Amino acid sequence: MQPPAAQAPQSLAQKLIARASGRPHAMPGEFVVCRVDLAMCNDSGGPRRLQPLMAELGAPIWDRHRVALVIDHHVPTEDEDARRIVRIARDWAREHALPHVYDSVGVSHVVLAHAGHLRPGMLCVGGDAHATTAGAFGAYMLGVGSTEMLGVLVSGEIWVQVPRTLFMRWSGRLGLGVSAKDMMLSMIGRFGVNVGHQQAIEYCGEAVSALSMDERMTLANMSAELGAQVGLIAPDDQTRAWLWQVGQREVELDAWHSDEDAPGVRHNFDASTLAPQIALPHSPALARDVADIEPTAVQVAHIGGCTGAKLDDLRAAARVLAGYRIDRRVRLLVEPASAHEREIAEREGILHHLEAAGAQILPSACGLCAGHGSGIPEDSTAISSIARNSRGRLGTDSARVFLASPYTVAASALRGRITDPREVLWDNEAEAVS
């Protein structure tokens, strides 16, 4: 006799959807209607598209306390069109008396976390593909377009097809100069950009447990590059401690983990054998070991974006560059992911080390990753810590953009060519000993 469905093993993704849909169990493939705990809009795809549609419907926001607006794409405003978009967003926030508005303080996915909006067990939606970042906290956050966001804003609900789960288990420990970004690029290089097929990906194993919350956010964030609907990491004591610091005092952990026999496809990796990775232009799927790349000069090195300029990313770059000057032929551009990161990096002396090395510190915003700002020179070669390197991603269609970790970006800026960061870090350690 088959056990009742409510007792069948479930993945973390299934449990999160079951809770949001008010059911004891959610089966892969089912379509269910879920209550939304938080909806995040940004200035790019949010009010300027939602305002006329909501006016046409004549419907109010279902719960303004569950809506966050982050103005991060078109700031600082660089032209009249950007000023118009930002003005619409600010007017919309005032019209609806939104209590959670984050204006020009950083990239939405990082800002939400530091503002204490995310916690295990939540089901959220965000108007951006990298809304998957919330999965680092054991929250299910879907990236949606304007039409779906409209439905959420007026109803507080969204339909979801319960996904299958891919389990990515990482054993071992990461070596010197190897980070979560390298883990992601290696997985994308192995499986391609569509392996997720709108499934859930759950990262687990001792190497994942050892990651900081910033690094876990990198894994969850770039799940979008694997084609996943969501990227999840089961919350633990480290999650609780991090959330405590941002004001979340009641955090439940026990319920939010996959059952041992949960259905899904399992893949295993050994972090101890992983080398620093780099993705060639113009796709994250073109990833390989940095050491296998022919010597390639770079003119621009960029540390930024929601996945590549968090506090730990800035610390990694400073670890490489402290006490040195970058190659005179390279521009190093640093866009801290949020004002919070910028403030702590300033206090810790990280920004001092980066500026002393020759970096230019830019405003905390989507910036170059969203194609805004001055961009990079035509026909140049750049290396960046952002999530994607499709043509025009840094504002210039003719540029060749390589993707890598902040360690590798910093090492490449230092040497003037794509460089395995272990070469620099080993040299730094040898000098420290001598």
pLDDT tens-digit map of 202-227? 999 999 999 999 999 999 999 999 99
25 and 128 share a domain? yes
Residue 268 has pLDDT above 80, yes or no: yes
174 and 302 share a domain? no
- State which of 269, 299, 325 marks the end of a domain: 269
220 and 293 share a domain? no
Range of the domain at 330: 277-433
Q: What amino acid occupies position 119?
A: R
Residue 360 lies in a domain: yes
Q: Do 196 and 228 form a contact (C-beta atoms < 8 A)? A: yes
> What per-residue confidence (pLDDT) applies to 430?
63
> What per-residue confidence (pLDDT) applies to 3?
34
For residue 127, give Cα distances in angstroms to 40, 67, 226, 373, 432. 6, 11, 18, 21, 47
> What per-residue confidence (pLDDT) applies to 17?
99
> What per-residue confidence (pLDDT) applies to 413?
99
> What per-residue confidence (pLDDT) applies to 429?
67
Dihedrals φ, ψ of 378, to 5°?
-60, 140
Res. 434 pLDDT band, cuts 50 70 90: low
Task: Transcribe 303-314 into DSSP letters.
Answer: E-HHHH-SHHHH
226 and 105 share a domain? yes
* CB-neighbour burial class of residue 347 (10 A; exposed 0-12, middle 13-18, buried 19+): exposed
Residue 257 lies in a domain: no
Mean pLDDT over residues 47-74, rounded?
A: 96
Number of domains comprising the chain: 2
In 224-363, at which residue ranges do the beta strands (DSSP E only) sit? 230-232, 265-270, 277-279, 287-289, 300-303, 331-334, 359-361
Dihedrals φ, ψ of 238, to 5°?
-65, -40
Q: How far apart are CA 104 and CA 127, in angstroms?
A: 17
Q: What are the tens digits of pLDDT across the range 72-129?
A: 999 998 899 999 999 999 999 999 999 999 999 999 999 999 999 999 999 999 999 9
Mean pLDDT over residues 358-377, rounded?
A: 89
Q: Do 215 and 180 form a contact (C-beta atoms < 8 A)? A: yes
Res. 198 pLDDT band, cuts 50 70 90: confident
Res. 32 pLDDT band, cuts 50 70 90: very high
For residue 235, give Cα distances in angstroms to 118, 135, 222. 12, 9, 18
194 and 71 share a domain? yes
Q: Identify the DSSP state of 294.
A: P
Residue 255 lies in a domain: no
290 and 368 share a domain? yes
Q: Which CATH number is 103's domain given?
A: 3.30.499.10
What's the chain's average pLDDT? 95
Q: Do 168 and 234 form a contact (C-beta atoms < 8 A)? A: no
Query: What share of the chain has pLDDT > 90, as a percent?
Result: 90
Instruction: Tell whether the torsion through CA atoms of 282, 423, 329 and 406 is positive or negative.
Output: positive
229 and 331 share a domain? no
Res. 431 pLDDT band, cuts 50 70 90: low
Q: What are the tens digits of pLDDT across the range 302-346?
A: 999 999 999 999 999 999 999 999 999 999 999 999 999 999 999
> What per-residue confidence (pLDDT) applies to 235?
98
**382 strand-pairing partners:** 300, 401
Find the angle CA(207)-CA(314)-CA(200) to the nearest 5 degrees. Answer: 40
Task: Transcribe 49-64 into DSSP letters.
Answer: HHHHHHHHHT---S-G
Residue 2 lies in a domain: no
Res. 393 pLDDT band, cuts 50 70 90: confident
Longest dimension (CA), the chain: 72
- State which of 209, 242, 269 marks the end of a domain: 269
Q: How far apart are CA 313 and CA 406, in angstroms?
A: 6
Residue 1 lies in a domain: no
Dihedrals φ, ψ of 359, to 5°?
-75, 150
> What per-residue confidence (pLDDT) applies to 195?
86
Residue 256 lies in a domain: no
Mean pLDDT over residues 7-14, rounded?
A: 95
Mean pLDDT over residues 121-142, rounded?
A: 98
23 and 111 share a domain? yes
199 and 305 share a domain? no
> What per-residue confidence (pLDDT) applies to 20?
99
Residue 426 has pLDDT above 90, yes or no: no
122 and 236 share a domain? yes
294 and 353 share a domain? yes
**143 strand-pairing partners:** 126
> What per-residue confidence (pLDDT) applies to 5?
47
Residue 330 lies in a domain: yes
Q: What amino acid occupies position 50?
A: L
219 and 359 share a domain? no
